[in-house]
């Protein structure tokens, strides 16, 4: 399978990783910040009519990603050559098993259905309207968002931005905890993306 290079995604991912390394960010806080920015970017661009379900989807995603990364406080982001980001992005696209994704998506919608049936209060309030990160992570999330705004060009797509937020996360997890753990994160990303496409009325590829 040949994956086209996406220079905007790779450039932004490298800029984000440089920032995380410069700030000596541990993986738990960095993943929290990256996830928060990703969710806020999606909320800013969401035009669907099912806002309540969308908020539940985001909260559930945030809960699972930060839960997986909680034990990574002693690990740090490290800089790798830009070529590594391209290779990692290709690896992510190639390795996803959509049979697993389909089963996971069914599980996800079951979770959302349960939350809606009980009012969805717990999940809905985990992020709030703006994606409330923990206080020590909030400044980093703001800095990442400002970097994206500053470095984005007319050629940068929304997909480039979202993937640029994922790539440093998956690369760092794989570098410190191995491919199996990175696959756990990647499955969460894929499941979340599938849910967003459903709520946005897009056809899942």
Q: Which residue has the higher pLDDT, 6 or 132?
A: 6
Burial of 153 (0-12, 13-18, 19+ CB in 10 A): exposed
122: confidence class by pLDDT, cuts 50, 70, 90: very low
Burial of 17 (0-12, 13-18, 19+ CB in 10 A): buried
Would residue 203 count as lying in a domain?
A: no
Q: Give the pLDDT confidence score for residue 4 in this predicted structure.
A: 55
Would residue 32 count as lying in a domain?
A: yes
In three-state secondary structure terms, 204 is coil
Q: Distance (Å, rounded) from C-alpha 52 to C-alpha 116?
A: 9
pTM listed for this prediction: 0.74
Which residues have CB under 8 Å from 11's CB, separation 6+? 82, 151, 164
pLDDT above 60 for 166 = yes
Cβ atoms 14, 85 nearer than 8 A: yes
**Domain extent for 61:** 7-196
Which residues are registered as beta bridge partners of 76?
26
Q: Give the pLDDT confidence score for residue 51 in this predicted structure.
A: 84
pLDDT above 80 for 177 = yes
Would residue 205 count as lying in a domain?
A: no
Would residue 204 count as lying in a domain?
A: no
Q: Give the pLDDT confidence score for residue 202 in this predicted structure.
A: 56
Q: Give the pLDDT confidence score for residue 80 in this predicted structure.
A: 61
pLDDT in tens, 63-79: 999 999 988 988 988 76
Would residue 173 count as lying in a domain?
A: yes
Would residue 202 count as lying in a domain?
A: no
Q: Give the pLDDT confidence score for residue 49 in this predicted structure.
A: 76
Q: Which residue has the higher pLDDT, 19 or 117?
A: 19
Which residues are registered as beta bridge partners of 26?
76
Would residue 201 count as lying in a domain?
A: no
* CA-only gyration radius of the chain, Å: 16
Into how many domains does the chain fold? 1
In degrees, rounded to 5, the angle at the alpha carbon of residue 82 between the alpha carbons of residues 28 and 70 is: 5
Structure tokens at 25: 């960010």
Q: Which residue has the higher pLDDT, 45 or 30?
A: 30
pLDDT above 50 for 201 = yes
Would residue 121 count as lying in a domain?
A: yes
């Amino acid at each position: 399978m040949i994956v086209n290079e996406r220079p905007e995604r790779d450039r932004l991912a490298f800029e984000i990783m440089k920032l995380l390394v410069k700030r000596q960010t541990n993986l738990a806080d960095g993943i929290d910040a990256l996830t928060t920015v990703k969710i806020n970017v999606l909320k800013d661009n969401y035009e669907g009519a099912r806002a309540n379900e969308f908020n539940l989807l985001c909260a559930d995603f945030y809960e699972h990603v930060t839960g997986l990364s909680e034990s990574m406080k002693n690990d740090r982001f490290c800089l790798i050559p830009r070529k590594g980001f391209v290779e990692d992005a290709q690896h992510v696209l190639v390795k996803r098993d959509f049979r697993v994704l389909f089963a996971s998506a069914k599980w996800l919608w079951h979770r959302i259905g349960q939350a809606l049936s009980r009012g969805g209060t717990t999940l809905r309030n985990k992020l709030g309207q703006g994606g409330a990160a923990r206080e020590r992570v909030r400044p980093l999330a703001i800095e990442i968002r400002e970097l994206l705004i500053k470095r984005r060009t007319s050629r940068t797509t929304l997909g480039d931005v979202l993937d640029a937020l994922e790539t440093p996360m998956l690369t760092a997890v794989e570098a410190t905890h191995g491919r199996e753990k990175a696959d756990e994160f990647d499955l969460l990303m894929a499941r979340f993306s599938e849910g967003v496409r459903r709520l946005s009325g897009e056809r899942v590829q």
